[in-house]
Structure formats: structure tokens, C-alpha cells
A and B are shown apart, each in its own frame.
Chain A
Amino acid sequence: MAKKKPDYKNEGLLLPPVIPDIKDWPIANLLRKNKAFVEEVEKESLVQLMKTCEREKISLQQLIEKAMYLERIRIADDPWKIDPPDETKFWSKIKKALVENEQFQEDPEAFKQKNAELAHSIVDRYASEISSSFKPSTYHFAKRFLPFFFSSLLNASAGSNIRSAIYHRIGLQEKVHLKGEIDALRSLSEKGTIILVPTHISNVDSILVGWGLHALGLPAFIYGAGLNLFNSKLVGYFMGRLGAYKVDRRKKNAMYRATLDTYSTLAITHNVHSLFFPGGTRSRTGTIEKRLKLGLLGTAMEAQRRNLLMEGSGKKIFVVPLVMSYHFVLEAKTLISEHLKRTGQDKYYIIHDEFASYRKFLMFVWKALGKTSEITLNFGKPMDLFGNFVDQEGRSFDAGGKELNIREYFMSEGEMREDVQRDEQYTRMLGEKIVERFHAENHVFSSHLVAFVAFEMLKKRYSRFDLYALLRLPQDDRVIPLRQYMETLERVLDRLRVMRDHEKVMMADHLENDPMDILRHGIKNLGLYHTKRPLTFQKGGDLISDNMNLLYYYHNRLEGYGLEKYI
């Protein structure tokens, strides 16, 4: 073995770092002046709130009252461990101050001033809560610790002992495949600001994305993490210091939204790469996201407009979709059963699931990185915010290959114009484009395919049943004859290949095998983690599902491609 390797490999990197010194990373630059940045966020949030008032023709006082009303309901109905103990007191104070301010109504200027002060104190509270606490030292520690942690597990799980682990050094990179437009991503990270938008199916996603970006030599990305994850002190400690800022999905009031959006917008204008999970939460059903939350994407649009207004210094913003494929998902069982239970109901937050159990988590990592399984992170083709593809230099091109200037999207009659409604529509279109790219950049795995075919065959057989009846099929009725199954599988495979040739989807290398091998591979991987197997061979060789909910869940991954026609 050659002993002399470039030293970046010792830090768990596959490629040399784009910016060698952590202190020079945009995120470190920004958060070194964290106090000044939070103040900037507060100031700008207030400006935005004033604009909201103007646009929606309401007073600042009304805005505060509405926020207060919603916050008091939240505090009463949905308290979390992480909530600061003085919340009730804070809002009581606001209430009192609002009443006191009434006396200034005679003097509109003073009245406005008083309410602005009040708004400032609320925004101040929000901005401090949201703010990230990135620490280079924690990052240093984590990047050394995590790969070691994973690779220890990995090697133990691959059946080797610690000693062989040290000799063979099986790395995370051998189980987690980083694919796609990696060169472009690295190059664009220097030319402009990256918005990475991954599919979201498991909390394991964030860990893997974090590792993936690190391994590719990219600086840390800032990302919004659900406040509920900070309920765990240990997780919260690391996440904050690795670049996470806090997003509280319970807070829906306009003042919180404005602060959160401003935080994100300004971080992007400071050239900090960002990570958004545009689906909002993990996909409950196992499908690839079809509807995106546009709020944070909108902040990228606003940041782009502002950057273009800055003469010379404003950077271009690039969107990179990232599709993650797993054979099986840590939280699958909880997610799908919660989904089925609550279909039709408004919303819910899962606080306790497999991710919260360290034992389950370790078990998952063990299995996922074991001998047969694999995970793919596919970095998709980079685009500008208008859905045009960009090259490695960051130049945008139209469908005919002609270069275009994105500044012109903000222009009318020869000048840049501010138009919130226009930009909202651009954001909505970007969302549609990302959904389209998610489907095109998705690597189909054997497990997804075999589950899809099996479930759709049963669905066709019992076409008069609704979903719930189908999921409760008696054991005997879930048997699928092997021959019939193989014929269908081959039809769907053929169709997938045609779609792949038209760049509508991607296929894992193992799908090049013989169909029978694909079936075995799929069944084996589906069954690795779950005790009740979504799909398995019966004694005579026919197929049967021991867990219809999970079969449905894994089948959903291939929904939306129109493959049902080939069943």
C-alpha cells in the first residue's frame, strides 16, 4: 500500500477542499460577526414587516396583535421542552405594552414609534432564537469523529473486526455513493452561492448530506433544522455548531416568517451556501416530493434580486437538486402508519420516532452500511433560479443552447423592478422545476422496483378496493404467482429503460442484471431492516407480502412516473 497520500484524505475527504482554511469559509466569515449579522437581520425584518403592512393595508399594531394571539394559542396548546421558560411572561408584557401604547393614538408619530419598538423587541427575540452558532472547532471535531464512527460501524457490520477495519479502511464512500454533477457543484461553489435542495425521506438525510458535502471538499452549508430536533441537547449542540439555524414550524405568524425569511435571504446575500429541504418535512408516504414549500426558495429569489442590484459584488445563485436513494428507510414504519392514521387531518409533528432511539439508529446504520446495501446521493444538474441549466462557469443557457442573462427576468422596459407578486410566481415555477428534476435525477433501486410491481399487481387484482381495504388484505390474498410477477417486472423494466434513455429517470447499476437477480436483490434489501418483510418468497417460490403498509410505502417511491400502465 502506498503510504504517501495527499493529506486531505486523512480528514475523510475524497476531493481536495475548495477552500482549505475553515476560517475563510463564507459561513465562518458571516458568523464571526454573528452579533452584527443578527442586528442586520432584525433591522431588515422590520423593513420587510413595514412593507407587508403597506401591501396588505394593515397597521403594525394589528400585525403584532395577530402574532400575539397565535403565539398565546401555541404556548397553551403545543409546548415543547426546548421552549424558553419566559415565553408566557414575554407575551404578557407585549400585551400590556400594546394597551399602554393606545394612549399615544392621538399622536400618530409617537404611536407608530412605540409600536415599532414593540415589533423590534419581538423580532429581536425571534432572530436570536433562529440564529446559528457555527463553530469551526466543533466542525473540526465532528468531521473527524463522524467518519470514524461510521467506518467503525461499517467494518464491524461488514463482518470484520477492529483490526481488519484499521487495515482495510472501508470508508463511508464505499457504501454511500456520491454521484452526479460533482465537478460542477465544486466549481459553482466558488463562482456563486449554492442552494442545495435534497429530497427528504429520513432524518438520516441531514447527516449523510453533511458528510457528503464535507467529503467533496465543500465548505459547510447553512440549513434550517426543525426546532424539535434541538429538543435533544446533544443533537442540538452539534447541529447548531455545524451550521444549522432553527426553524419552528409551529410559529406561523407573519412576524416570525418575516424574521426567518430575512435571516435566510441575508445569509445567501453574504454568499453562504444553503441547504433547504423543500418538501418541508420528511415524505410521510415514501413518494418523491410533488409539492414543495416555497417559503425558503422565495428567500433565494429575493437574495438573487438583491445581489443583482449590488454593483459587481453580487453573486449568482445556483440551485442543485439532490436525490437520495435508500433501499430501506429508518423511520418507514412510523411515517407510513402515522400517515395512514391521519390521512385527511390537518397536520402533525412526529417527535418520537425511530430517529429518537439510539439503538434503532445504530441498528439502521449497521444494516444500511452492511454487506449488501447501498445508499446513493445523486447531485443533480445545477440550474439558475429560473430553471435554466448552468454550466461549470455558472452561465445560464436556454433549451436551444443560447446563453442568457438572468438579470433580464427582473427587468421591464429596460430597468430592474421590484415586484413581489412576479417573484412569487418565479418561485412557484422553480418549485415545479425542482419536482421535475427530482423525478429525473432519482436513482431507481431494485427494492423500489420490486415493491412497486408487487403492490400495483395487487392493486390491479383488487381494483374495486380502496387503499385501506387493500392494505388490510388477508394473508392468503396477498400471494403473487412468480411467473406472472416476472412478466410484469420485465415490462416495467423495459419501460424504465426507455424513460432512462429519455433522461426522465436514472437506474442503479444493479438494475442491469438479469430480472430474476434484480428480484432477489430487491427482496433481500427490502427485508434487511424490517422484521415483517414487505415482500418475500413463499415456500413454492411465489411472492407474498408480510407487511402491506411497508410494501405500499416502498412502492410509492416510483409513483408519478406513469408506470402503472405497464402492470
Chain B
Amino acid sequence: MKNTSKYQAGVIGAGSFGIAMANIMAENGKILLLARREEIADKIRTTGHHKRQDVHPNIEVITSTEAFAAQCELIFPIVPSASFRGMLDDLAPFLHPYHRLVHATKGLVINIPKDQQLEKLESLQADQVMTMSRLILQETVVRRIGCIAGPNLASEIAEGQPAATVIASPFEEVIREGTAVMRSSRFRVHASPDLLGIELAGVLKNIMAISAGILHGLGYGDNTMALLITRGIAEMIRLARIFGADARTFLGLAGIGDLVATCSSPHSRNFTVGFRLAKGESLDDIIADMEEVAEGVKTTFIARALANSHKVSAPITQAMARILQGEMEIQRAVRLLMEFPFTEDVEFI
């Protein structure tokens, strides 16, 4: 039989967040983990250890996508944005309409002519931009789609600190199942029907993470950071509304919650990009010695083009884009932002 599995869920991706999430789920039952490379699978099987985390005995690792898809109905792809499309191409042929997919990837896919450069992009319509759930919808037979987002630093989850996430899906069934699989005494799961809003919150937050890194790098303190967070959430909401997302979503864990965590944590890649920029390094040098691309860089350019086309005020994004392109000095950008005529404090509700 094709789908009477003994696994309550499957996780794709043996990165640190993938392992951390699989470990949480494994407390509730058997989990199948799909690793890309055989040596990683072997290592996990023999040592029970990977990415500085013990791997729960309820987790079984395989490398065959076909066997994986045949044994799990509820699948959590937890892969970096850059690998998402490749992962989906591999997975799509083995997916059936009964599958449910809950992803954790914070990125955007854009549809522009090949000769156009992202950094130079002046305008972009909302329908040229896709979140990961739209991509799944377009490329696969799966309709029951969800995502998880929120302040989920893998290292803290791995240490067993109390944390929470938001699971978003228009399908109550997906929320119900996802919650049952993830919930534990150290991990809370909140629900939202606004899949698009939650995805965008996770994506747009990365722009603010770069800004936060810059402010930290310049040695600014908590007043400045609070200013960034509040202006940042307002800007994220304005940008998300281009897609018709709901502002209320941004006041929750995956919006303001994640933003606070990202802006105060020096661990994220996006934060690091900003921090090193402020210390005088060039973007090319920074990117050259990062293992994975900081998604926020790409997101900034996409968001700027969207803001231009849809005539949405996005001063932080505009300033970040110019800094990242080397068109504007950081000090000058900060000064401009301070002089920008924001009027009302809370105009977005």
C-alpha cells in the first residue's frame, strides 16, 4: 500500500534547523529524515550525532527521495532558500495529491527576463514574485500546503530552550496535523490561516536583519534598535500588503516576534552581512566567505523593485538597496533615514 506509513512525518534536509525540528518531532513519534548525501546519512546512523546535535533515536535517515515520499504523507522540507527549487524538482515526481507539505524556507522566487539583473531591477509586479508555497502549488500536485515561521534559532532549539513557532495554512487539516507532530513541553505551536502573510513576514524580516547588523556594527544601542524594529514592522506590513497579506499577521510571533529575535541576535547570516558592511568590508568580500547566500540581500532588491512599481513607501529598503549596491555610504543613509518625514507612529492598523 502506498500511504499507510509508520512515520508520523518526514523531514527533508539534515542541516542544523532540519535536525533540530526533526528532534522536536521525534519526541512525538517516528520521523523519517531525508539527507541529500549518503555519507551524512551514514554518519547519523553510526554516530547518532550531526551538526552539533544528538539525533533522536526515533529518527530514521534515508537518501532515496522516492522511498521517502512513499513512506510519508506529511512532509516538512527544511532546506535553505537556494536549494529549495532543486529539492522540489527532485521531489515533485514522487508526490501524490494526498501529500501535505509544510515548508520552512524564507525566500522569494522571481520571474524576470534572463538579461535583467536583480540589483538593477527598477520595477516588479506582485505577480512576478512567488513565495515558496506558490512555487509548490505551481510545480507539484500538492494542494495542502503550509509553512512554519517564527523566532526559531536552531542553536537555541537544539539546547532545549523554550521556544515557539507559527504554523500557517489555509487548510485546518494541515494545521491540526502539523501541530500534533511538533508540539512538546518545550515547543509551543501557534496557528494562522494566513499562509502568505506568514511567509512574507519571514522573508521581509531579513531586510531588517541586515539593517540591524549595520546599526550594531556602527555601535548604536537599544534606542536605535527599537526605532528600527518599529519602523521596520510598519514597512514590512506596507510591502506585504502589495500581495494582499493581512497586517494582523505581522503583530504575532512570526512578525514582530521574529523581528525582535533577528534584530537582537548576532547569529544570523543577514545580520552578519550588515555588521561587516558597517565595519567597512565590501559586499563581494562578505559574500565570498559565506557558506550560503544571505537571503536578505536578494530580498532587499526584490522588495525595492516591488515598492517602486506599486508606489509603496519603503525608506529602509531603499536605503539598504543603495548601501548593498555601494551607491551610498552607510553614514549618509542613516542620516537620510533619520530625516525621512515619517509622520504617524502607527499608521498600519
CB pair B171–A425 under 8 Å, yes or no, is yes
A292 CB, min distance to chain B CBs, angstroms: 16
> Which residues of A have CB within 8 Å of B97?
386, 404-406, 408-409, 411
* Partner pick for B143 among A419, A421, A426, CB 8 A cutoff: A426
> Which residues of A have CB within 8 Å of B95?
398
Q: Which of B75-83, B133-141, B222-230 touches A?
A: B133-141
- Asked whether A409 and B98 contact (CB < 8 A) given A398-B92, A422-B172, the answer is yes
CB pair B173–A565 under 8 Å, yes or no, is no
CB pair B1–A414 under 8 Å, yes or no, is yes
* Partner pick for A398 among B4, B141, B172, CB 8 A cutoff: B141
Interface of A is mostly: mixed
CB pair A400–B172 under 8 Å, yes or no, is no
Closest residue on chain B to residue A430 by CB atoms? B143
A137 at the interface (CB under 8 A from B): no
- Asked whether A386 and B171 contact (CB < 8 A) given A402-B93, A412-B73, A413-B3, the answer is no
- Asked whether A411 and B171 contact (CB < 8 A) given A398-B141, A562-B125, the answer is no
A60 at the interface (CB under 8 A from B): no
Closest residue on chain B to residue A405 by CB atoms? B97
CB pair A404–B139 under 8 Å, yes or no, is no
A307 at the interface (CB under 8 A from B): no
> Which residues of B have CB within 8 Å of A399?
92, 138-140
Closest residue on chain A to residue B137 by CB atoms? A429
A439 CB, min distance to chain B CBs, angstroms: 10
- Asked whether A408 and B98 contact (CB < 8 A) given A399-B140, A402-B93, A565-B123, the answer is yes
Please report the C-alpha to C-alpha distance between residue A493 and residue B125 in the assembled complex, in whole angstroms. Answer: 20
- Asked whether A413 and B92 contact (CB < 8 A) given A422-B172, A428-B170, the answer is no
Please report the C-alpha to C-alpha distance between residue A399 and residue B137 in the assembled complex, in whole angstroms. Answer: 10
B30 at the interface (CB under 8 A from A): no
Closest residue on chain A to residue B127 by CB atoms? A562
Closest residue on chain A to residue B3 by CB atoms? A414
A388 at the interface (CB under 8 A from B): yes
CB pair A422–B144 under 8 Å, yes or no, is yes
CB pair A421–B171 under 8 Å, yes or no, is yes
B85 at the interface (CB under 8 A from A): no
> Which residues of B have CB within 8 Å of A404?
96-97, 141
Closest residue on chain A to residue B96 by CB atoms? A408
CB pair B141–A412 under 8 Å, yes or no, is no
CB pair A422–B171 under 8 Å, yes or no, is yes
> Which residues of B have CB within 8 Å of A411?
3, 97-98
A425 CB, min distance to chain B CBs, angstroms: 5
> Which residues of A have CB within 8 Å of B98?
408-409, 411-412
A291 CB, min distance to chain B CBs, angstroms: 11
B72 CB, min distance to chain A CBs, angstroms: 11
Please report the C-alpha to C-alpha distance between residue A400 and residue B138 in the assembled complex, in whole angstroms. Answer: 10
Which B168-211 residues sit within 8 Å CB-CB of chain A? 170-173
Which B138-154 residues sit within 8 Å CB-CB of chain A? 138-141, 143-144
B325 CB, min distance to chain A CBs, angstroms: 23
Which A389-433 residues sit within 8 Å CB-CB of chain B? 398-400, 402, 404-406, 408-409, 411-414, 419, 421-422, 425-426, 428-429
> Which residues of A have CB within 8 Å of B171?
421-422, 425
CB pair B4–A413 under 8 Å, yes or no, is yes
Binary contact track A140-175/B, C-beta < 8 Å → 1, others 0: 000000000000000000000000000000000000
CB pair B123–A388 under 8 Å, yes or no, is no
Please report the C-alpha to C-alpha distance between residue A405 and residue B144 in the assembled complex, in whole angstroms. Answer: 15
Which B84-112 residues sit within 8 Å CB-CB of chain A? 92-93, 95-98
* Partner pick for A413 among B73, B138, B141, CB 8 A cutoff: B73
CB pair A400–B92 under 8 Å, yes or no, is yes
A103 CB, min distance to chain B CBs, angstroms: 40
> Which residues of A have CB within 8 Å of B170?
425, 428
Please report the C-alpha to C-alpha distance between residue A404 and residue B1 in the assembled complex, in whole angstroms. Answer: 16
> Which residues of B have CB within 8 Å of A388?
141
> Which residues of B have CB within 8 Å of A421?
171-173
> Which residues of B have CB within 8 Å of A386?
97, 141, 143
Which A253-286 residues sit within 8 Å CB-CB of chain B? none
Please report the C-alpha to C-alpha distance between residue A562 and residue B310 in the assembled complex, in whole angstroms. Answer: 12
Binary contact track A368-399/B, C-beta < 8 Å → 1, others 0: 00000000000000000010100000000011
> Which residues of A have CB within 8 Å of B92?
398-400
Closest residue on chain B to residue A562 by CB atoms? B125
> Which residues of B have CB within 8 Å of A405?
96-97
A560 CB, min distance to chain B CBs, angstroms: 9
> Which residues of B have CB within 8 Å of A428?
170
Please report the C-alpha to C-alpha distance between residue A406 and residue B170 in the assembled complex, in whole angstroms. Answer: 20
Which B255-294 residues sit within 8 Å CB-CB of chain A? none
> Which residues of B have CB within 8 Å of A413?
3-4, 73
* Partner pick for A409 among B3, B140, B143, CB 8 A cutoff: B143
Binary contact track B233-247/A, C-beta < 8 Å → 1, others 0: 000000000000000
Which A226-245 residues sit within 8 Å CB-CB of chain B? none
Please report the C-alpha to C-alpha distance between residue A386 and residue B98 in the assembled complex, in whole angstroms. Answer: 12
* Partner pick for B173 among A398, A400, A408, A419, CB 8 A cutoff: A419
Please report the C-alpha to C-alpha distance between residue A386 and residue B142 in the assembled complex, in whole angstroms. Answer: 10
> Which residues of A have CB within 8 Å of B127?
562
> Which residues of B have CB within 8 Å of A422?
144, 171-173
> Which residues of A have CB within 8 Å of B93?
400, 402
> Which residues of A have CB within 8 Å of B138?
399
CB pair B141–A429 under 8 Å, yes or no, is no
B330 CB, min distance to chain A CBs, angstroms: 33
A147 CB, min distance to chain B CBs, angstroms: 42
Please report the C-alpha to C-alpha distance between residue A404 and residue B96 in the assembled complex, in whole angstroms. Answer: 7
* Partner pick for A414 among B4, B137, B140, B141, CB 8 A cutoff: B4
> Which residues of B have CB within 8 Å of A402?
93, 141
> Which residues of A have CB within 8 Å of B1?
414
Please report the C-alpha to C-alpha distance between residue A145 and residue B138 in the assembled complex, in whole angstroms. Answer: 46
B273 CB, min distance to chain A CBs, angstroms: 31
Closest residue on chain A to residue B92 by CB atoms? A400
Which 10 pairs from chain A and chain B are nearest by CB?
A408-B97, A408-B98, A409-B97, A398-B141, A411-B98, A414-B4, A421-B172, A425-B170, A404-B141, A562-B125
Could you give 18 example pairs across A and B, Cβ below 8 Å?
A386-B143, A388-B141, A398-B92, A400-B92, A404-B97, A404-B141, A408-B97, A409-B143, A411-B3, A419-B172, A419-B173, A421-B171, A421-B173, A422-B171, A422-B172, A425-B143, A562-B125, A562-B127
B interface list, Cβ under 8 A from A: 1, 3-4, 73, 92-93, 95-98, 123, 125, 127, 137-141, 143-144, 170-173
A interface list, Cβ under 8 A from B: 386, 388, 398-400, 402, 404-406, 408-409, 411-414, 419, 421-422, 425-426, 428-429, 562, 565
Given A421-B171, A422-B171, 20 other A-B residues pairs in contact with their CB atoms under 8 A: A386-B97, A386-B143, A398-B92, A398-B95, A399-B92, A399-B140, A402-B93, A404-B96, A404-B97, A408-B98, A409-B98, A412-B173, A413-B3, A413-B4, A414-B4, A422-B144, A425-B143, A425-B170, A425-B171, A428-B170
